A and B are shown apart, each in its own frame.
Chain A
Amino acid sequence: MSFKESIQLNTQLGYFEGEIPVNYQYTLGIAGTKFFETLMNEGQFVASECKTCGVKTIYPLIYCEECFSAIDTYVPVGLEGELYSFTKCYRDYQGKEYQTPHLIGLIRFEGIKGGIIHRLGIDDKEVHIGMKVKAKLKPAKERNGTLEDILYFEKS
């Protein structure tokens, strides 16, 4: 290999610029549409419920991961859960330092498989695994059926 340790930039080696010139419009899917429409219109979470084996899953699915039955039943879950784990993050995905560190948590719901990962609006001296938390949503008229309809999870 002719890699030269002294060279720091590809531009010094002879190069062509390139890119993949596309962006993406991901559909929510059948179960995702149910979840985000309910969040937007009713201000709460739903899980999918398998009528064959009883497993409930969040985010919902149109099929049961356990027994592979088709699912078209969705049950309300409310907005309250329990903090399963958390982290305090200092830099973004491009390595840039956040102005204020971000607190991110994984929230689980009683009797439900899966969970929601989101920002935490909790003082970092108070945050701890197992604490009860509740989603703080945008006001109803500002919601548009996306993950950003959830502002953060706070102490409940």
Chain B
Amino acid sequence: MGYRKVAIVGAGITKFVRRAQETGPEMAYLASKMALDQAGLKLKDVEMITLGSAPDAFDGVHMKGEYLLSGAGGNNKPYIRNFVGGGTGVFAPIHGWIHVASGACDVCLVVCSEKMSSCHPHPQGAFLTIFDHTTEQPLKPTLIWIFALEMRRYMETYGLSKADVARVAVKNKNNALDHPSAQVAEAVTLEDVLNSEVLAEPVNRLDISPASDGAAAVVLASEDVAKRLTDKPVWIDGVGWNLDTSYWATKDLYYPRYVEKAARMAYEMAGITEPHKQIQVAEPYDPFDYKELHHMEGLLLCERGEAARLTAEGYTARSGNLPTCPSGGALGVGNPIAATGLMKVIEIFLQLREEAGKRQIPGKPRVGVAQAWGDLMQVGTVIVLRR
């Protein structure tokens, strides 16, 4: 299709924590430096930089792209911020891919940094103004009750119980016990999740990922540069993104068609015709447990309404046929919005290189998919990686 081949050649990730002493630029630096070191590159080797970060209101810094600039190594270089809300973390490497695939540069650094702990008393206050100012904001909605509406409709459509959904939280929080960056890894049981505090029916506290501080970065390189740098390049085979209406109340809620459209775009580019057979590992976005199920279906990794049954059967465990969120996901590793999506891409990168340590899935996976979702429940961002 006229695109140049692009590989990930290095990755870095900070710890995800509820409250970091580091500032946003300091976190961006730590992740960027790790990624460059792993790639065996200096900042002077980087030609262009793209930075992903969620709404400015979390950090309380307008022009957050500029605020994070020097920590992300962007001074005096072609640098730009990319943004699609919660979908940003997977869009950021897509944006970097555009830089390299187009021939604009050979080496692009992709950085995502998020500091939600500045926001007081809670980032929910900042979320308030993503809702329509006349038709929704007067009710003072929280994200949780908006998701509760979506979760209930999803459960109702496919006849799912709370336990069917909660198994995702159990899997991911336990998976995260093996992730060195994890904030909320816990050996929780199904009973723990079901008995945790009810926040907005049917959502309990352990159904949700936490607010976090953290950063992640990857280095992208064109084919010849990548082959010179490493004998284990991981290729970006397909990218897709798609936005559905901002009038979210008009959607059916039980199926994320925008994720499907993004996935189809990425799969077509990657030559994937039967995703459930051709993909060996997946990192669907899981800010809530039901969202992993929702997104598995949107990613066409299973039939609609089947994701919960597959989860219960162990199909998505690390030892299963199609491991999902072997990292521990947002539910276990933590959810510093943009950095979370990139953490997922990094997990697929490590799994395909067989460098995921205790999290390594068996069977020498060759193809993986990472996905994020966000804005006003309307964006899907999808990336397919191949070793």
Question: Contact check: which of A16, A25, A28, A33 meets B138 at CB < 8 Å?
Answer: A16
Name the B residues within 8 Å of A18 (CB-CB): 129, 133, 137
Taking the complex as formed, is B121 at the interface, i.e. its CB lies under 8 A from any CB of chain A?
yes
Other-chain contact of A22, B19, B33, B43, B57 (Cβ < 8 Å): B57
Check B73 against A16 for contact (C-beta < 8 Å).
no
B contact residues around A33 at 8 Å (CB): 21
Q: Which of A24, A61, A62 contacts B118 (CB 8 A)?
A: A24
Question: Is the CB–CB distance between A63 and B33 below 8 Å?
Answer: yes
Binding-face segment, B22-30, B172-180, B216-224, B369-377: B22-30
* CB of B51 to closest CB in A, whole Å: 15
Kindly identify which residue among B20, B57, B138 contacts A20, using a CB–CB cutoff of 8 Å.
Answer: B57
Whether the Cβ atoms of B133 and A63 lie closer than 8 Å is no
Pair A68/B36 contact, Cβ less than 8 Å:
yes
B358 CB–A CB distance under 8 Å: no
* Interface status of B246 (Cβ within 8 A of chain A): no
* Complex: chain B residue closest to A27, CB-CB: B21
Q: How far is the CA of A65 from the CA of B43 in the complex (A)?
A: 10
Q: Verify if B128 is at the interface (C-beta below 8 Å from A).
A: yes
- On chain B, the number of residues with a Cβ less than 8 Å from chain A's Cβ atoms is 34
Closest chain-A Cβ to B123's Cβ sits at a distance in Å of: 8
Cross-chain contact B129 with A68 (CB below 8 angstroms): no
B309 near A: Cβ within 8 Å?
no
Contact, CB under 8 Å: B118 / A65: no
Q: Using a CB-CB cutoff of 8 Å, which residues 100-136 of chain B contact chain A? A: 117-123, 125-126, 128-129, 133-134
Known: A20-B126, A65-B75. A25 touches B29 (CB 8 A): no
Say how far B144's CB is from chain A's closest CB, in angstroms.
16
Answer yes or no: A111 CB below 8 A from chain B CBs: no
Q: Which residues of A contact B85 (CB under 8 A)?
A: none
Give CA–CA (A150, B73) in the complex, Å. 31
Bound form: Cα–Cα A27–B116 in Å: 11
Q: Are A20 and B125 in contact (CB under 8 A)?
A: yes
Do residues A67 and B134 form an inter-chain contact, with CB atoms below 8 A?
no
Q: Which of A11-31 contact B (CB under 8 A)?
A: 16, 18, 20-31
Q: How far is the CA of A61 from the CA of B192 in the complex (A)?
A: 43
Q: State the Cβ distance, B189 to closest chain A Cβ, in Å.
A: 35
Query: Would you call B60 and A16 a contact (CB within 8 A)?
Result: no
A22 and B138 within 8 A (CB): no
Distance in angstroms from A146 CB to nearest chain B CB is 15
Judge whether B70 is part of the interface by a CB distance below 8 angstroms: yes
Known A18-B137, A20-B125, A65-B70; contact A29-B43, beta-carbon cutoff 8 A = no
Instruction: Tell me which residues across on chain A come within 8 A of B36, comparing CB atoms.
Output: 68
Give the total number of A-B pairs whose CB atoms are below 8 A apart: 78
How far, in Å, is B363 (CB) from chain A's closest CB? 38
Residues of A within 8 A of B42 (CB): 67-68
Cross-chain contact of B133 among A16, A23, A70 (Cβ < 8 A): A16
- A21 — nearest CB in chain B belongs to which residue? B125
Does B138 lie within 8 Å of A29, measured CB to CB?
no
CB of A32 closer than 8 Å to a CB of B: yes
Cβ < 8 Å to B, chain A residues 60-77:
61-63, 65, 67-68, 70
Cβ B137 vs Cβ A63 within 8 A: no
**Contact across chains for B71 and A63 when beta carbons are under 8 A apart:** yes
Whether the pair A22, B121 counts as a contact (CB closer than 8 A) is yes
> Which of B29, B73, B117 is in CB contact (< 8 Å) with A62?
B29
> Would B26 and A62 count as touching, CB distance under 8 A?
yes
Contact across chains for A21 and B118 when beta carbons are under 8 A apart: no
Distance, CA A7 to CA B23, complexed state (A) = 44
Of B21, B22, B43, which one neighbours A68 at CB under 8 angstroms?
Answer: B43
A24: chain B residues within 8 A (beta carbon): 60, 118-120
Which residues in B have their C-beta under 8 angstroms from that of A28? 21, 23
> What residues make up the interface of A, taking CB atoms closer than 8 Å to B?
16, 18, 20-33, 61-63, 65, 67-68, 70
Closest 5 CB pairs of A and B: A24-B60, A29-B23, A22-B125, A68-B43, A63-B29
In the assembled complex, 7 residue pairs joining A and B whose CB atoms fall closer than 8 Å, in A order, are: A16-B138, A18-B133, A20-B128, A20-B129, A33-B21, A61-B70, A62-B29
B→A interface (CB under 8 Å): 19-23, 25-26, 29, 32-33, 36, 42-43, 57, 60, 70-71, 73, 75, 117-123, 125-126, 128-129, 133-134, 137-138
Other than the known A30-B26, A32-B23, A63-B26, what 19 A-B pairs have Cβ atoms closer than 8 Å? A16-B134, A16-B137, A18-B137, A21-B125, A22-B60, A22-B121, A22-B122, A22-B125, A22-B126, A26-B60, A26-B118, A30-B21, A30-B22, A31-B26, A62-B29, A63-B33, A65-B70, A68-B32, A68-B42
